[in-house]
């Protein structure tokens, strides 16, 4: 038993020397710098449950430079300063989850809603996993998933396909091939009892609930979009009218499909943000009343018409934004194997009927399929002990 202080110091010194030596081979951030010098804007990446994305915009005369750089970092990544970046990810977790009441609530909510499927795991990772993942594991993940068979590239802008395609083929074709990763085998078991999370802290109240639903390939996919629109889109939406305008209990309330993802069966979620003096229980009750109405009576012709017109307008308006359109095309190609599905979706939307909406509502909005999470405001312990009346 015991520690050899001298030996530890020597090892520490060796380690630091090795780090310093490694540092001489590093030009930090050079990739991003090169992009920025060449006029890149919106350079970023996102990691989501269903996919990761790398995106930026460049002046059109830099198309080839972009193809060289983007294909290069996919084909031959070098995780320089991996462990420093890992520390940065821990800060990100502290910022978005640990120090953010709603972030923390959402994490607990998903962990409760899912028993087996990886949708229960936060994309940023649990603290102990961030602090233990190593560069070798990260490289293995990259090698397995970042293979051409698993990647879609989309370019939108002032380019001609005839010029761009040979260029893209040259650079992205050089990425080493690999087998498409095996599909996810885990299937979330059917939920048979309501689950709930109650957080008591000195934070303003909030209510969130979700119901398991099928993935994006379900024939009723557009019906869920209709319910989202009817429940949440603007001041004509049911939740706004009921909770915000008429009952005056919420500042904001919505229902939306596909949380936290759509590739696998996600949740149809609802939330309500109480105005001062009102409680998560009131949110829950009011939301359930609206759900019950959807299950027992038809939506109006006008509601359905609004949904369809807005879906078309929203698709068309999206065409004006190059980066947004590129993201959509890549997403549809990834999901359906054909980007044209983005436009065919409108036909599917046009076919949604009142009967569909009622049928789907009755299928998934049932108690045993529900998970809820709430924040109950609790005054700080000291304040409560001293003077319950003084706490705010």
Which residues ranging from 76 to 135 are in contact with other proteins (CB under 8 A)?
Answer: 76-85, 87-92, 94-103, 105-107, 110, 122-124
**Interface pick for other proteins out of 12, 13, 170, 245 (rule CB under 8 A):** 245
CB of 210 to other proteins, least distance (A): 12
Q: Which is nearer to other proteins, 245 or 293 (CB)?
A: 245
Site for other proteins in 188-207 (CB under 8 A): 201-204, 206
**Interface pick for other proteins out of 220, 273, 331, 356 (rule CB under 8 A):** 273
Site for other proteins in 42-61 (CB under 8 A): 43-49, 54, 57, 59-61
Q: Which two tokens stand for residue 145?
A: 């998933």
In 10 A of CB 35, how many CB atoms? 19
- Which long-range contacts (C-beta less than 8 Å, at least 24 apart) are formed by 355-358? 355/298, 356/220, 356/223, 356/226, 357/223, 357/226, 357/227, 357/230, 357/294, 357/298, 357/299, 357/304, 358/294, 358/295, 358/297, 358/298, 358/299
Site for other proteins in 210-239 (CB under 8 A): 232-236
Q: Per DSSP, what are the bridge partners of residue 372?
A: 196, 209
Region of 72-80, 184-192, 324-332, 358-366 interacting with other proteins (CB under 8 A):
72-80
**Interface pick for other proteins out of 131, 169, 309, 368 (rule CB under 8 A):** 309
Site for other proteins in 373-392 (CB under 8 A): 380, 392
Cα separation, 349 vs 220, in Å, equals 10
Q: Which is nearer to other proteins, 73 or 195 (CB)?
A: 73
- Our finding on whether 73 is near other proteins (CB under 8 A) is yes
Q: Return the closest-CA partner of residue 290 out of 235, 234, 232.
A: 232
Q: Which two tokens stand for residue 37?
A: 């010098």
Q: Which is nearer to other proteins, 81 or 363 (CB)?
A: 81
**Interface pick for other proteins out of 2, 128, 183, 302 (rule CB under 8 A):** 302
Cα separation, 63 vs 86, in Å, equals 31
CB of 174 to other proteins, least distance (A): 12
Region of 4-12, 32-40, 280-288, 343-351 interacting with other proteins (CB under 8 A):
32-40
Backbone angles phi, psi at 174, to 5 degrees: -85, -5
Cα separation, 257 vs 211, in Å, equals 9
Region of 17-25, 186-194, 339-347, 363-371 interacting with other proteins (CB under 8 A):
17-25
- Report how far Cα 373 is from the mean position of its chain's Cα atoms: 18
């Amino acid at each position: 038993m015991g520690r050899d202080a001298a030996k530890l110091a020597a090892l520490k010194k060796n380690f630091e020397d090795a780090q310093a030596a490694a540092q001489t081979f590093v030009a930090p951030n050079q990739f991003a710098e090169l992009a920025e010098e060449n006029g890149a804007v919106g350079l970023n990446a996102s990691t989501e449950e269903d996919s990761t994305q790398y995106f930026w915009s460049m002046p059109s005369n830099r198309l080839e430079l972009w193809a060289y750089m983007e294909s290069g970092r996919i084909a031959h990544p070098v995780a320089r300063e991996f462990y420093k970046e890992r520390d940065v990810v821990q800060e990100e977790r502290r910022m978005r989850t640990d120090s953010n009441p709603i972030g923390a609530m959402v994490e607990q909510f998903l962990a409760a809603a899912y028993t087996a499927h990886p949708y229960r795991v936060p994309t940023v990772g649990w603290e102990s996993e961030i602090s233990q993942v190593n560069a070798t594991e990260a490289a293995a993940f990259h090698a397995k998933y970042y293979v051409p068979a698993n990647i879609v590239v989309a370019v939108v802008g002032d380019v001609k396909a005839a010029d761009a395609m040979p260029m893209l083929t040259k650079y992205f074709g050089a990425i080493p091939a690999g087998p498409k990763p095996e599909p996810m085998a885990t299937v979330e078991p059917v939920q048979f009892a309501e689950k709930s999370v109650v957080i008591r802290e000195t934070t303003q109240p909030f209510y969130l609930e979700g119901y398991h639903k099928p993935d994006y390939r379900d024939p009723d996919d557009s019906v869920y979009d209709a319910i989202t629109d009817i429940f949440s889109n603007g001041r004509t939406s049911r939740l706004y009218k009921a909770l915000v305008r008429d009952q005056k209990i919420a500042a904001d309330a919505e229902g939306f499909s596909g949380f936290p993802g759509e590739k696998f069966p996600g949740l149809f979620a609802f939330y309500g943000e109480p105005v001062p003096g009102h409680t998560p229980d009131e949110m829950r009750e009011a939301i359930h009343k609206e759900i019950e109405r959807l299950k027992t009576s038809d939506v109006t012709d006008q509601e359905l018409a609004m949904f369809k017109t807005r879906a078309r307008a929203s698709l068309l308006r999206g065409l004006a934004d190059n980066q947004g359109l590129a993201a959509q095309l890549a997403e549809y190609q990834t999901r359906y194997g054909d980007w044209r599905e983005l436009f065919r979706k409108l036909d599917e939307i046009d076919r949604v009927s009142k009967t569909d909406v009622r049928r789907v509502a009755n299928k998934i909005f049932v108690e045993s399929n529900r998970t809820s999470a709430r924040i109950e405001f609790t005054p700080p312990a000291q304040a409560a002990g001293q003077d319950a009346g003084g706490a705010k």
